[in-house]
Structure 1
Amino acid sequence: MNSTLSLKERKATFAELKAEYLFIAIPFLLLISIKLYISTWQEIITSPDWSLASCLIFGQITSKVSKAVACSNTKTSEHFFGWYTAKRFL
Protein backbone atom coordinates (compact mmCIF):
# COMPACT_ATOMS: atom_id res chain seq x y z
CA MET A 1 0.00 0.00 0.00
CA ASN A 2 1.39 3.36 -0.99
CA SER A 3 1.57 5.69 2.01
CA THR A 4 2.24 8.87 0.06
CA LEU A 5 -0.78 10.89 -0.90
CA SER A 6 -1.09 13.30 -3.75
CA LEU A 7 -1.67 16.97 -3.04
CA LYS A 8 -5.33 16.65 -4.00
CA GLU A 9 -5.83 13.67 -1.65
CA ARG A 10 -4.09 15.49 1.20
CA LYS A 11 -6.29 18.55 0.72
CA ALA A 12 -9.41 16.37 0.65
CA THR A 13 -8.33 14.55 3.81
CA PHE A 14 -7.56 17.83 5.57
CA ALA A 15 -10.93 19.28 4.53
CA GLU A 16 -12.71 16.20 5.88
CA LEU A 17 -10.82 16.46 9.18
CA LYS A 18 -11.70 20.14 9.50
CA ALA A 19 -15.36 19.35 8.89
CA GLU A 20 -15.31 16.63 11.55
CA TYR A 21 -13.75 18.95 14.11
CA LEU A 22 -16.29 21.66 13.32
CA PHE A 23 -19.23 19.29 13.67
CA ILE A 24 -17.91 18.24 17.06
CA ALA A 25 -16.96 21.72 18.26
CA ILE A 26 -20.08 23.62 17.19
CA PRO A 27 -22.54 22.02 19.68
CA PHE A 28 -20.13 22.59 22.55
CA LEU A 29 -19.32 26.17 21.57
CA LEU A 30 -23.00 27.02 21.15
CA LEU A 31 -23.89 25.45 24.48
CA ILE A 32 -21.15 27.32 26.31
CA SER A 33 -21.89 30.65 24.65
CA ILE A 34 -25.64 30.43 25.30
CA LYS A 35 -25.13 29.42 28.92
CA LEU A 36 -22.69 32.30 29.44
CA TYR A 37 -25.17 34.72 27.89
CA ILE A 38 -28.31 33.69 29.80
CA SER A 39 -26.90 32.38 33.08
CA THR A 40 -23.81 32.11 35.21
CA TRP A 41 -20.65 30.24 34.31
CA GLN A 42 -21.37 27.64 37.02
CA GLU A 43 -24.46 26.50 35.13
CA ILE A 44 -22.29 25.50 32.19
CA ILE A 45 -21.02 22.53 34.17
CA THR A 46 -24.39 21.56 35.65
CA SER A 47 -26.38 21.90 32.44
CA PRO A 48 -28.32 18.82 31.31
CA ASP A 49 -27.82 19.96 27.71
CA TRP A 50 -24.46 18.19 27.64
CA SER A 51 -26.36 14.97 26.97
CA LEU A 52 -27.67 16.39 23.71
CA ALA A 53 -24.18 17.38 22.60
CA SER A 54 -22.86 13.93 23.48
CA CYS A 55 -25.67 12.28 21.49
CA LEU A 56 -24.72 14.35 18.45
CA ILE A 57 -21.11 13.26 18.74
CA PHE A 58 -22.13 9.63 19.26
CA GLY A 59 -24.25 9.75 16.10
CA GLN A 60 -21.37 11.19 14.12
CA ILE A 61 -19.01 8.49 15.33
CA THR A 62 -21.40 5.67 14.43
CA SER A 63 -21.88 7.26 11.03
CA LYS A 64 -18.10 7.38 10.54
CA VAL A 65 -17.74 3.70 11.47
CA SER A 66 -20.40 2.75 8.93
CA LYS A 67 -18.80 4.96 6.28
CA ALA A 68 -15.36 3.48 6.93
CA VAL A 69 -16.66 -0.07 6.55
CA ALA A 70 -18.50 0.86 3.35
CA CYS A 71 -15.39 2.53 1.89
CA SER A 72 -12.98 -0.24 2.81
CA ASN A 73 -11.82 -2.63 0.15
CA THR A 74 -11.87 -5.63 2.46
CA LYS A 75 -14.77 -8.00 2.54
CA THR A 76 -16.67 -7.55 5.76
CA SER A 77 -19.30 -9.91 7.04
CA GLU A 78 -22.51 -8.10 7.89
CA HIS A 79 -22.84 -10.30 10.97
CA PHE A 80 -19.48 -9.23 12.37
CA PHE A 81 -20.21 -5.62 11.51
CA GLY A 82 -23.52 -5.88 13.33
CA TRP A 83 -21.75 -7.32 16.38
CA TYR A 84 -19.12 -4.57 16.27
CA THR A 85 -21.79 -1.88 16.02
CA ALA A 86 -23.82 -3.40 18.85
CA LYS A 87 -20.74 -3.37 21.09
CA ARG A 88 -20.21 0.30 20.30
CA PHE A 89 -23.82 1.13 21.22
CA LEU A 90 -23.42 -0.54 24.58
Structure 2
Amino acid sequence: MNSTLSLKERKATFAELKAEYLFIAIPFLLLISIKIYISTWQEIITSPDWSLASCLIFGQITSKVSKAVACSNTKTSEHFFGWYTAKCFLLVVISIAAYFGMLA
Protein backbone atom coordinates (compact mmCIF):
# COMPACT_ATOMS: atom_id res chain seq x y z
CA MET A 1 0.00 0.00 0.00
CA ASN A 2 1.31 3.43 -0.83
CA SER A 3 2.41 5.23 2.35
CA THR A 4 1.86 8.67 0.84
CA LEU A 5 -1.90 8.88 0.73
CA SER A 6 -3.51 12.15 -0.17
CA LEU A 7 -5.54 14.02 2.41
CA LYS A 8 -8.78 13.00 0.69
CA GLU A 9 -7.80 9.30 0.73
CA ARG A 10 -6.81 9.49 4.41
CA LYS A 11 -10.13 11.10 5.31
CA ALA A 12 -12.02 8.43 3.35
CA THR A 13 -10.07 5.65 5.06
CA PHE A 14 -10.66 7.20 8.48
CA ALA A 15 -14.39 7.54 7.77
CA GLU A 16 -14.56 3.90 6.72
CA LEU A 17 -12.79 2.80 9.91
CA LYS A 18 -15.17 4.84 12.05
CA ALA A 19 -18.13 3.23 10.30
CA GLU A 20 -16.72 -0.26 10.92
CA TYR A 21 -16.23 0.43 14.62
CA LEU A 22 -19.72 1.87 14.86
CA PHE A 23 -21.26 -1.23 13.26
CA ILE A 24 -19.45 -3.36 15.85
CA ALA A 25 -20.28 -1.12 18.82
CA ILE A 26 -24.01 -0.64 18.18
CA PRO A 27 -25.11 -4.25 18.88
CA PHE A 28 -23.08 -4.36 22.09
CA LEU A 29 -24.43 -1.02 23.30
CA LEU A 30 -27.97 -2.15 22.55
CA LEU A 31 -27.41 -5.46 24.33
CA ILE A 32 -26.03 -3.75 27.42
CA SER A 33 -28.77 -1.11 27.54
CA ILE A 34 -31.57 -3.65 27.10
CA LYS A 35 -30.12 -5.96 29.76
CA ILE A 36 -29.82 -3.04 32.19
CA TYR A 37 -33.39 -2.00 31.47
CA ILE A 38 -35.09 -5.40 31.80
CA SER A 39 -32.87 -7.19 34.32
CA THR A 40 -30.04 -6.78 36.79
CA TRP A 41 -26.55 -5.69 35.87
CA GLN A 42 -25.17 -9.14 36.78
CA GLU A 43 -27.12 -10.70 33.93
CA ILE A 44 -25.16 -8.59 31.44
CA ILE A 45 -22.12 -10.78 32.05
CA THR A 46 -23.95 -14.12 32.15
CA SER A 47 -26.12 -13.48 29.10
CA PRO A 48 -25.83 -16.02 26.26
CA ASP A 49 -26.38 -13.19 23.79
CA TRP A 50 -22.65 -12.40 23.85
CA SER A 51 -21.93 -15.62 21.98
CA LEU A 52 -24.48 -14.74 19.33
CA ALA A 53 -23.01 -11.26 18.97
CA SER A 54 -19.48 -12.62 18.61
CA CYS A 55 -20.72 -15.10 16.01
CA LEU A 56 -22.20 -12.25 13.96
CA ILE A 57 -19.02 -10.20 14.23
CA PHE A 58 -16.81 -13.13 13.16
CA GLY A 59 -19.09 -13.67 10.19
CA GLN A 60 -18.95 -10.01 9.20
CA ILE A 61 -15.17 -9.91 9.47
CA THR A 62 -14.75 -13.07 7.42
CA SER A 63 -17.01 -11.66 4.73
CA LYS A 64 -15.17 -8.34 4.62
CA VAL A 65 -11.73 -9.96 4.48
CA SER A 66 -12.89 -12.25 1.67
CA LYS A 67 -14.24 -9.26 -0.24
CA ALA A 68 -11.02 -7.30 0.31
CA VAL A 69 -8.87 -10.19 -0.89
CA ALA A 70 -11.04 -10.61 -3.98
CA CYS A 71 -10.78 -6.88 -4.80
CA SER A 72 -7.07 -6.70 -4.06
CA ASN A 73 -4.59 -6.29 -6.86
CA THR A 74 -1.78 -7.86 -4.84
CA LYS A 75 -0.95 -11.52 -5.02
CA THR A 76 -2.12 -13.42 -1.97
CA SER A 77 -1.32 -16.92 -0.83
CA GLU A 78 -4.29 -19.22 -1.19
CA HIS A 79 -2.96 -21.45 1.59
CA PHE A 80 -2.76 -18.69 4.19
CA PHE A 81 -6.11 -17.25 3.17
CA GLY A 82 -7.69 -20.70 3.41
CA TRP A 83 -6.16 -21.18 6.86
CA TYR A 84 -7.47 -17.78 7.99
CA THR A 85 -10.96 -18.52 6.68
CA ALA A 86 -10.99 -21.93 8.37
CA LYS A 87 -10.00 -20.39 11.71
CA CYS A 88 -12.74 -17.77 11.45
CA PHE A 89 -15.31 -20.41 10.56
CA LEU A 90 -14.22 -22.49 13.55
CA LEU A 91 -14.66 -19.48 15.84
CA VAL A 92 -18.15 -18.92 14.44
CA VAL A 93 -19.06 -22.55 15.15
CA ILE A 94 -17.63 -22.30 18.68
CA SER A 95 -19.65 -19.12 19.30
CA ILE A 96 -22.86 -20.77 18.12
CA ALA A 97 -22.16 -23.86 20.24
CA ALA A 98 -21.56 -21.68 23.30
CA TYR A 99 -24.78 -19.78 22.61
CA PHE A 100 -26.87 -22.95 22.40
CA GLY A 101 -25.01 -24.41 25.39
CA MET A 102 -25.92 -21.39 27.51
CA LEU A 103 -29.56 -21.58 26.44
CA ALA A 104 -29.92 -25.20 27.50
Q: With the length of structure 1 as denominator, give the TM-score of the two structures.
A: 0.82
User: Deviations for 1:10-44, whole angstroms, at most 9, x for unmatched residues?
Assistant: 11101110111011101110000000000000000
Q: CA RMSD in A?
A: 1.8
Measure how far apart 1:83 and its partner are: 4.1
Measure how far apart 1:73 and its partner are: 1.3
SS in 2 for 1:2: coil
Deviates further, 9-18 or 74-83: 74-83
Deviating runs (4+, > 6 A) in structure 1? none
Measure how far apart 1:79 and its partner are: 6.2
Query: Are the structure 2 counterparts of residues 67 and 39 from structure 1 closer, same or farther at C-alpha, using a change threshold of 3 Å?
Result: same
How far apart are the structure 1 equivalents of 2:73 and 2:4? 18
Measure how far apart 1:63 and its partner are: 1.5
Aligned to 2:26: 26
Deviates further, 74-83 or 32-41: 74-83
Q: With the length of structure 2 as denominator, give the TM-score of the two structures.
A: 0.72
Identity of aligned residues (%): 99
How far apart are the structure 1 equivalents of 2:4 and 2:80? 31
How far apart are the structure 1 equivalents of 2:73 and 2:79? 17
Measure how far apart 1:82 and its partner are: 3.4
Aligned to 1:40: 40
Unaligned runs of at least 5 residues, structure 2: 88-104
Unaligned runs of at least 5 residues, structure 1: none
